[in-house]
Structure 1
Amino acid sequence: MQAVILARISSKEQRDGHSLDAQTRNLEQYAQRKQLNVIRKFTLVESSNKRFRPEFDKMIIFIKKQKTKVALIVDTVDRLQRSFRETPILNDLMSQDLLELHFVKEGNILSKHANSVQKLMWNMGVVMSQSYTDQLSDNVKRSFDFKVRNGEWCAQAPIGYKNATDVTTGKSTIVVDEDKADLIKQIFIEYASGLYSISSLSKQAYGWGLRSRNGCKVCPQLLHTLLQNPFYYGVMRVKGKLYEHKYDALISKELFNKCQYVRMQRSKTKVADKTKHTFLFSGVFICSASKRVVSCDMKKGKYVYLICRDPDNHSKKLWVNERSVVDQMQNKIDAFHLSNEDLPVLIEYTQHTLKLQKQHDKEIIYTLQKECDEIERQIDKATELLIDNCINQDVYERKYSELKQKHSDITVLINDQLQDTELLERSIILLLKLCNKASLLFKSSKTTLKRTLLKTLFSNRELNAGNVQCTTVLPLLSMLKTTDLREWQGQQGSNPRPTVLEICSNK
């Protein structure tokens, strides 16, 4: 029978002494003992954990071309695979009687007629191989999380910093790049002034002498990323979360926030200011087919149309009469109106609900504060143990870092709970009153105010072949229009609950 030899190593295993020559020699001796004719040898230097294995794929293609059964000889299961991704491919070849697997050290041979015990041994080998890689992954993740919580950056240093080695500990660290730090500060200062665009600031920085790591010009894209990197004011972003790092900050948080404000102001859509005519729906809608902003145009000096794409044929434009869209929006706004009896009830219910929420927030804050106090007590206890030489410095620093991180996380939760409920209450009530008068405002206001009103009251505004689709900022109002308010306030049943009026009257 013809045979193919597969020997594989990864770079780490090669350092550990698992050489390709040793594997190949052992497999050749096995082939001689089994009287197998070796027609090809594949030596792979790749990780079997990768999703795409080009060398492995080449071997499979070669085996398929033989048109007869081929014995694939490997040292152990983990030399062939460390996951079940390859199993369907190998099973398919064996079911066609084109492949026979030989695992030398396990002494297991699988073919089309393999029994359940042989298949179980193969699957168990894959499970153990995958378990090994999963354990390595877990160790790496634990190490990474520990470093992040200790404020250590585990990647290439941002521009303005450079990777270095701590002479006292021998560990890698990050230090300020004295040649570039002042230039980075100047970039933030100039951008915060609002006088420079990112493109012009990129040219200005090149004139100052700022270069990328490769010695090239800092392009606008890189500068855009740099200006959004919180690392420069003392916080690092890891997987979407922010952690304080232990390195020197180059700028203040206030300067960073000022830059973000300037950037966000410039990113706002100003479609209405760029057109010859002031259209009501300029920049208001997104085309549901193309996901782009719906533009407006005027024909014969008086007919206004909104231009979107056909949902069934995106290359085809649809011209929607503005009057049709105005009528649809007017109907949606008319639905906001509440009677003189319903509005006070809804406001009272809002006030009562927020009062209950405030009491609930106080209970949560009290519980979180107790946890903070307990953590502070544990920190004091650890400090006393260190002073009494009951624990060494390394143990103390590790414990202190863990407790400090927990304290920081809980403090964030407390701050989240400490929202201004009174301000929220005033905002909701003001919005309710605005909604109630929205119909009159929309009919009587000028174009600019109408557009502002639409953007305030509706979100997710889309135009789908002439049909308006949007979400109201207060979905409760839409729900109220579908049913009687007093019916919504409390339903009678086997377990009746009080109405909003009864709740508010008993406060």
Structure 2
Amino acid sequence: MLDGLRKAVLYARVSTQEQEREGFSIPAQIKLIHGYADLNGIGIAAEFIDVETARKTGRTQFGLMLDYLRKHLTVRGILVEKTDRLYRNLKDWVTMDDLGVEIHFVKEGVVLSGDSRSSEKFMHGIKVLMAKNYIDNLSEEARKGMKEKAEQGYWPTLAPLGYRNVRGPDGRKIIEIDPERGPVITRLFEWCATGRFTLRELADKAREAGLRNRTGGRPVRVSTLHRILRNRVYSGVYEWKGELCQGHHAPLVSAETWDNAQEVLDARSATNVRARPMEFPFTGLMTCGHCGCAMVGEIKKGRYIYYHCTGFRGKCGEPYVRQEVIEERFREVLGRLHFDDEIFALIQQAIREGHADERREHDERIERLRAEADRLLQRIDTLYMDRIEGRITAELHDRLAPVWREERARCLRDMEALFGAEDAMIDDGLALLDFARNAASGFEKWPLADKRSG
């Protein structure tokens, strides 16, 4: 079988870059294969070396080797150390079988070709399946290890932007704040929490502050920035596979700032309204009566403001409208809101009396939060006593206690917010009602720039 084979390619692979940095595996494979080739009179036409995992097909050098063999029909052999160096998945096996080359597994003392006996092919197939099972088992163990690490409070994978991967004093891989990018991420959340900036404006501010991706040093895109602002890990808590975990890493933002940023993002997603006022007072307040698209303002001849349909759903035939005409229509609508002092007093009294139901619901919600906070505190205390008395492990205590403390802190923050809003709820409503009954007369006096916010 070897007499007809004069040229072959050499293929070597290690599964991780750590193995390559050790400097042993690849040189050992090459030395072994060269010795085999010399002993059997085989000329090595080309060498292909991969330093990466074989879990996915499409390895760089593996693909180049296949292309080489398809182009060089006089080279009909592959020299490789052993089965799991050549392939670890069934797709690679089928690809190599279709190629019709002779494969020498040097360390195993096996030569496989189209002329091999069925028993040899069967045994080789068993080895491929065993190799596939091995890599699947490694993957499963890796996932289990990442889940366990996450539950212990250690971020289990590549550090999010703003952090970096390091080794702690005990040798464990952890994340710490990136001194260059971390402070910018903190400011990014603070800017977002104000509600004054769109995502694109936040991306511009981040770029001006020097925030760059780790790969290539490119400025962060708007989509990347949105993922950053939605990532709970920056508050010290993170979700992993649907579970909430209290991290051991230092947070870049407080829980309150993170919550405020989420409220801004949620509100923007729901209303699709820009964070800052538009240039024209009525932009964003009207839609086209013909097609339902937004109406936008435009200056004509440097001084006249006209509004027209954006035509987002297709060309719209509605004519442009002068701003003065729209002002008059708004004035007419606001004029219908007027009612005298006697009527206002009756409405005021009805609102205060009718607030009793809302007040009860408000108080009940506070009580529910208080009961939940007390329940969590009791669970934390019981957990601590179970640990002291040896009924549970310290590891289980350290995994559960931070999560329950975070949930209790959230209950207390919600209670505080409800207490603060209790008295302001009615007063704000009545103030808004009083403002509305005089809106028509006020609209006449407001400057053009204030009419939108009014």
TM-score when normalising by structure 1: 0.51
- Say how many residue pairs are matched: 319
Judging changes above 3 Å, is the alpha-carbon distance between structure 1 residues 16 and 166 closer, same or farther for their aligned structure 2 residues?
Answer: closer
Amino acid at match of 2:313: S
Report the 3-state secondary structure (helix = DSSP H, G, I; strand = E; otherwise coil) of the residue aligned with 1:148.
helix
In structure 2, give the amino acid aligned to 1:81.
Answer: Y
Contact 2:50-2:59 at 8 Å conserved across structures: no
Q: Which amino acid aligns with 1:279?
A: H
2:400 is equivalent to residue 399 of structure 1: no
In structure 2, the partner of 1:464 is: none
Q: Residues 54-133 of structure 1 correspond to what in structure 2 (within 5 A)?
A: 54-67=60-73, 70-94=76-100, 99-133=101-135
| Compared CA separation, residues 69 and 224, structure 1 to 2 (3 A) | closer
Q: Is the 8 A contact 1:4 1:42 kept in 2?
A: no
Q: Does 1:134 align with 2:136?
A: yes
Deviations 1:240-266 (A, max 9, x none): 654332233343434323322322333
What's the CA shift for 1:407?
8.0
Q: Match for residue 258 of structure 2?
A: 256
Answer yes or no: is the 8 Å Cα contact 1:211–1:217 preserved in 2: yes
Structure 2 partner of 1:42: 47
Q: Measure, in 2, the Cα distance between the counterparts of 1:111 and 1:178.
A: 57
Instruction: Quote how far apart the aligned CAs of 1:52 are.
Output: 0.6
Cα distance, 1:149 vs. partner? 0.6
- Any idea what SS the aligned residue of 2:197 has? coil
Check 1:180–1:66 CA distance in 2 against 1; reply closer, same or farther (3 A cut): closer
Contact between 1:5 and 1:24, CA under 8 Å: does it hold in 2? no
Shift of 1:111: 2.2
Could you tell me which amino acid in structure 2 is paired with residue 385 of structure 1? G
Give 1:295's match in structure 2, choosing from 297, 300, 313.
313
Aligned residue for 2:13? 9
Q: Secondary structure of the equivalent of 1:385? A: coil
Q: Is the 8 A contact 1:5 1:27 kept in 2?
A: no
State the alpha-carbon separation in 2 of the partners of residues 133 and 74 from structure 1.
19
Letter in structure 2 aligned against 1:116: S
State the 1:203 CA deviation: 4.7
3-state SS of the aligned residue for 1:86?
A: helix
Deviations 1:478-503 (A, max 9, x none): xxxxxxxxxxxxxxxxxxxxxxxxxx
Q: Match of 1:52? A: 58
Q: Distance in 1 between matches of 2:197 and 2:63?
A: 52
Kindly indicate whether the alpha-carbon contact (under 8 Å) linking 2:165 and 2:176 is maintained by their aligned counterparts in 1: yes
Q: Which runs of 5+ in 2 are unaligned?
A: 275-282, 295-310, 320-377, 412-454
Partner of 1:279: 290
Per-residue CA deviations over 1:349-398 (Å, capped at 9, x if unaligned) read xxxxxxxxxxxxxxxxxxxxxxxx99997874443139xxxxxxxx9332
**Within 5 A, what are the aligned runs for 1:462-501?**
none
1:131 alignment partner AA: N
Q: Is the 8 A contact 2:246 2:403 kept in 1?
A: no
Q: Deviations over 1:452-499 (max 9, x none)?
A: xxxxxxxxxxxxxxxxxxxxxxxxxxxxxxxxxxxxxxxxxxxxxxxx
1:46 positional shift: 2.9
Contact 1:101/1:109 (<8 A) preserved:
yes
Moved more, 47-56 or 112-121: 47-56
Within 5 Å, give how 1:436-447 maps onto structure 2: none
Is 1:234–1:245's contact at 8 Å kept on the other side of the alignment?
yes
Query: Where do residues 34-433 of structure 1 align in structure 2 (5 Å cutoff)?
Result: 34=40, 36-47=41-52, 48-67=54-73, 70-94=76-100, 99-158=101-160, 161-167=163-169, 169-176=170-177, 184-204=185-205, 209=209, 211-212=211-212, 220-238=222-240, 242-267=244-269, 268-269=271-272, 273=284, 277-279=288-290, 281-282=292-293, 295=313, 297-299=315-317, 380-385=385-390, 396-401=393-398
Paired residue secondary structure (2:10):
strand
CA distance in 2, matches of 1:149, 1:176: 20
Residues 1:253 and 1:379: Cα distance change in structure 2 (over 3 Å) = closer
Q: Does structure 2 retain, via aligned residues, the 8 Å contact 1:3–1:73?
A: no
Conserved in 2, the CA contact under 8 Å of 1:198 and 1:220? yes
CA contact (8 A) 2:246 2:402 kept: no
Partners in 2 of 1:266 and 1:406 — Cα distance?
Answer: 29
Q: CA deviation at 1:404?
A: 5.4
Say if 1:406 and 1:296 are closer, same or farther in 2 by CA, change over 3 A.
same
Deviation, structure 1 residue 144: 0.9
TM-score where L is the length of structure 2 = 0.56
Cα 1:148/1:27, change in 2 over 3 Å: same
Alignment-mate amino acid for residue 124 of structure 2:
W
CA distance in 2 between partners of 1:160 and 1:31 (Å): 51
Give the SS at the match of 2:263: helix
- Displacement of 1:230 after TM fit? 1.6
1:240-296 residue CA offsets vs partner (Å, 9 max, x unmatched): 65433223334343432332232233343579948773336448xxxxxxxxx9726
Whole-Å Cα distance in 2 between the matches of residues 18 and 49 of structure 1? 22
Cα pair 1:230 1:237 within 8 Å, conserved: yes
| Conservation of the 8 A alpha-carbon contact between 2:9 and 2:47 | yes
* CA displacement at 1:91 relative to structure 2: 1.8
Question: Is the partner of 1:49 in helix, strand or coil?
Answer: coil
Q: CA separation in 1, counterparts of 2:314 and 2:154?
A: 52
- Aligned-residue RMSD, C-alpha: 4.4
Distance 1:181 1:61 in 2: 45
Unmatched 5+ stretches in structure 1: 284-292, 302-372, 387-394, 416-507
Structure 1 residue identity aligned to 2:64: K
Following superposition, the deviation at residue 122 of structure 1 comes to 0.9
Q: Percent identity?
A: 25
Greater Cα offset, 154-163 or 53-62: 154-163
Q: Offset of 1:140 from its aligned partner?
A: 1.9
The verdict on how the C-alpha distance between 1:3 and 1:217 changes in structure 2, with shifts beyond 3 A counting, is closer
Structure-2 separation of matches of 1:375 and 1:274:
51
Matched residues in 2 for 1:170 and 1:69: separation?
A: 48
State the secondary structure of the residue aligned to 1:264: helix
**8 A contact 1:9–1:18 mirrored in 2:** no
